[in-house]
Amino acid sequence: MKATIQKTVLLVLLTIICVPVYSNISNDTIPANTEAQRAERLINRLEEIKNMDRSTLTPAEKRELRKEVKTIKTELKAAKGGVYLSVGAIIIIILLLILLL
């Protein structure tokens, strides 16, 4: 009796940890060439801002340019993508490292 309860609890815990979450997946996929074109336009805009003569601008216009540069840089970082690990994956990796080492 005790062994079946332990197995059931273990099964429930593993199911909770290992179930993938699909809440952020959308069906609207953007082709890679569109993303590359968008990134190229953003890089070109950064170059334009960099080559611009900012000495004639007012402080408000300079502030607007700084905000624009920040948003462009964050968009470019987001477009690069990355590797994301879930909490369950991190726990499993840590447990495997402890067991193997």
The answer on pLDDT for 96 being more than 70 is: yes
Query: What's the mean pLDDT in 80-86?
Result: 72
pTM: 0.48
Domain count, the chain: 1
Residue 89's domain comprises 43-49+58-100
d(CA 86, CA 24): 13
78 inside domain: yes
d(CA 46, CA 72): 8
- pLDDT on residue 23: 52
d(CA 13, CA 42): 45
38 inside domain: no
Question: DSSP class of residue 24?
Answer: T
pLDDT in tens, 21-77: 555 555 556 565 787 888 889 999 999 999 988 889 899 999 999 999 999 998 888
13 inside domain: no
- pLDDT on residue 67: 94
25 inside domain: no
Contact 86, 94 (CB under 8 A): no
